[in-house]
């Protein structure tokens, strides 16, 4: 699907810094990601790898200061979102690119009803009156599986379960017919049984509404179930990206391999492996390849030079000095 469609979003050479009291956090380094029309791209990595920062930069949601976007472009149909006015940005936020968050508990305002919050968003983007906004909200809620939509509209967030709240968030995203849905760990805070339902809803809506989806997760299983392509991030860098099956079946980067090996599998009972060490401190990250202190294949060159992201196979990119040695 992706090879023939148009690019809707292009993140180019993005570099993000946080100023903290302990020093400058080098959170995102030269990240390049493309999102094609109608596709679902998974962005995977451990906590603190820069995946959420990258995606929040798209809608300029990070507070400045302390955040500084020091380099790069975020092109939405060729329009650089890092340059546009706040007014234009507010048309895009929700209207063209909608976002749902990890914590459905705290992502909705506790002192307004669901209806009030949804109507405000709909009226903002669709130039309709209150009554029309209400019926749009009801339709969206039904679409995400909340059948008693009118009751839900009159409820406050604390009166709903976590799964219902996340459905409300998705309905809110849906209600303004965005082209892109950014889902920032949408299932992490939910029960396992609810996770699958939420993913199924996102998958379904993406097809019925022809949305492109950027899904951030630390769970490779979620990627395997839902995405077309995947990008793996480590310590601020994209270290590997490509078609889902290429990356998951034949990973080229030692970090991706480590991630895959650390997934528990019930059928084959074997020792569960983990990646030794932990995510580096990004105030003073390792020189060269940021993964080298944890990598069993690291050599001298890895300590000196940052590996560039190169196309190892058609559509499959990797940033490792030794991918040729490691390839399957």
Partner 1 sequence: MGKLILMRVLLLIPVLLGVSIFIFLLMRLIPGDPAIIIAGENATPEMLQQIREEFALDKPLAIQYVTFMKNLLSGKVVSIKTRRPVFEELFPRFLNTIHLTLFSMAIAIPLGITLGILAAAHRNSLLDNFVMVLALLGVSMPVFWLGIILILVFAVQLGWLPSGGKEGFANLILPSLTIAFALTSMIARMARAMMVETLSKEYIRTAVAYGLPRRKVVYKYALKNVMIPIVTVIGLQFGYLLGGAVLTESVFGWPGIGRYIVDGIFSRDYSVVQVGIMFLSMVFVLVNLGVDVLYMLIDPKVRRDVSKA
| Binding interface with partner 1 (CB under 8 A) | 59, 61, 63, 86, 89-95, 98-99, 101, 103, 106-112, 120-121, 124-125, 156, 158-159, 169, 172, 176
Nearest to partner 1 of 86, 147 (CB atom): 86
Nearest to partner 1 of 182, 295 (CB atom): 182
Q: From the CB of 21, what's the least distance to partner 1, in Å? A: 17
Instruction: Give CA–CA dist 165/156, Å, rounded.
Output: 10
Nearest to partner 1 of 83, 271 (CB atom): 83
Burial 128-146 (b: 16+ CB within 10 A, else e): eeeeebbebbbebbebbbb
Nearest to partner 1 of 61, 306 (CB atom): 61
Q: Report DSSP letters for 67-110, one per residue.
A: EEEEEEEEEETTEETTTS-HHHHHHHBTTTEEEE-S-TTTSS-T
Q: From the CB of 64, what's the least distance to partner 1, in Å? A: 12
Q: From the CB of 58, what's the least distance to partner 1, in Å? A: 10
Instruction: Give CA–CA dist 262/245, Å, rounded.
Output: 18
Instruction: Give CA–CA dist 204/42, Å, rounded.
Output: 16
Q: From the CB of 218, what's the least distance to partner 1, in Å? A: 19
Nearest to partner 1 of 115, 288 (CB atom): 115
Q: From the CB of 60, what's the least distance to partner 1, in Å? A: 9
**Please, are residues 214 and 41 in contact by the beta-carbon 8 Å criterion?**
yes
Task: Give the residue among 249, 176, 164, 199 at the shortest CA–CA distance from 42.
Answer: 199
């Amino acid at each position: 699907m992706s090879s023939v469609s148009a690019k809707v979003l292009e993140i180019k050479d993005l570099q993000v810094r946080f100023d903290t009291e302990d020093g400058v956090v080098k959170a995102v380094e030269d990240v390049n990601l493309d999102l094609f029309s109608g596709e679902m791209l998974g962005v995977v990595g451990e906590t603190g790898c820069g995946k959420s920062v990258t995606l929040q930069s798209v809608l300029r949601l990070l507070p400045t200061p302390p955040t500084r976007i020091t380099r790069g472009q975020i092109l939405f149909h060729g329009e650089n979102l890092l340059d546009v006015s706040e007014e234009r940005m507010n048309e895009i936020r929700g209207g063209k690119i909608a976002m749902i968050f990890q914590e459905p508990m705290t992502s909705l305002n506790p002192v307004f009803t669901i209806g009030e919050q949804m109507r405000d968003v709909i009226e903002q983007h669709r130039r309709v009156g209150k009554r029309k906004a209400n019926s749009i909200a009801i339709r969206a809620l039904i679409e995400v599986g909340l059948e008693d939509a009118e009751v839900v509209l009159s409820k406050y967030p604390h009166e709903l379960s976590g799964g219902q709240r996340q459905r409300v968030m998705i309905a809110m995203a849906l209600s303004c017919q965005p082209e892109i849905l950014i889902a920032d760990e949408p299932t992490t805070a939910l029960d396992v049984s609810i996770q699958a339902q939420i993913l199924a809803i996102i998958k379904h809506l993406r097809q019925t509404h022809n949305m492109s989806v950027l899904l951030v997760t630390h769970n490779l299983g979620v990627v395997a179930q839902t995405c077309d392509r995947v990008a793996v991030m480590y310590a601020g860098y994209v270290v590997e990206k490509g078609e889902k099956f290429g990356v998951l079946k034949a990973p080229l980067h030692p970090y991706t391999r480590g991630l895959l090996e650390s997934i528990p599998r019930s059928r084959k009972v074997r020792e569960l492996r983990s990646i030794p060490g932990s995510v580096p401190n990004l105030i003073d990250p390792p020189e060269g390849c940021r993964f080298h202190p944890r990598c069993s294949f690291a050599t001298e060159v890895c300590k000196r030079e940052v590996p560039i992201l190169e196309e190892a196979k058609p559509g499959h990119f990797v940033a490792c000095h030794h991918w040729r040695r490691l390839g399957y």
